[in-house]
Amino acid sequence: SIEGGEKLHDTITTIPGSFKKTTQGLERLIARKQELKSKFPLIHLTCVINRGNVMDLVPLYKYANKLGVNVCNYVVSSPATYWHGKNYDQDHHLDRPTAPVEEIEPKKLSRQLSQIETLSQGFKTKLRFSPNYITVEEIVRYYSNKSSYKDYRCFIPWAKVAFSAYGDVFSCPHYRVGNLNDSSELTSWKSDRIKGFREKLK
């Protein structure tokens, strides 16, 4: 993960020198991969879009391509406040309104993202925007606080399940369905708890 230029990256990570450490490690990894003439590991560089790094997005993609990164992924910042601790419980988050995102001047953001899309047509490093399939237009809308969750439907709780290092079972990071160490009913794909969660999303 690279957050932007050196000063911004170190500020966001709160670790002086973390930018140099990250880029040096990345460059050594790619050099070794090329030395071995190996396709693996696939190297995926992520950057969370924010007001402070909007002018760093294009240079970052150019850097990734020059270096030989496989994928450069630009991610929208999430106002969600979740974590994965043992026995965590965040049900109350479901009833809270979503916090507004820090806005970015629409024309400036649109220009930078459009330039990245244009570059991607000739670059070896693949371009990705996350969440998957989000468009430049929707990213600009999102950073203008004009997106609405009512416009979208999340199908993850009907299609996927994940497990944390603590054995917690969940689809949405906010909502723990159960734990692998509990009874089979609690963690069941058809348990009352997961059914209730799906109902909230309808």
Are residues 162 and 102 part of one domain? no
Each residue's pLDDT tens digit, 123-172: 999 999 998 889 999 999 999 999 876 666 778 888 888 887 778 888 77
13 and 33 housed in the same domain: yes
Task: Please check whether residue 38 lies inside any domain of the structure.
Answer: yes
Residues 113 and 174 in one domain: no
Give me the domain span that covers residue 48. 6-151
> Which residues, listed in sequence order, are joined to residue 176 by a DSSP beta bridge?
170
Does 1 reside within a domain? no
Same domain, yes or no, for 11 and 106?
yes
Domain identity same for 137 and 88: yes
Tell me, yes or no, whether 67 and 106 share the same domain: yes
Which is it for strands 168-170 and 162-163: parallel, antiparallel or unpaired?
antiparallel
Close Cβ partners of 23 (under 8 Å, ≥ 6 residues apart): 2
Strand ranges of the sheet holding 126-130, from the earlier edge strand across to the other edge: 44-49, 71-76, 126-130
Q: What is the pTM of this model?
A: 0.75
User: Cβ distance 128 to 43 under 8 Å?
Assistant: no
Element (H, E) at 49: strand 44-49
Q: Each residue of 75-100: pLDDT tens digit?
A: 999 766 655 555 666 677 667 777 88
How many domains in the chain? 2
pLDDT digits (tens, 9 = 90+) for 109-130: 999 999 999 999 999 999 999 9
Mean pLDDT of 182-197: 74
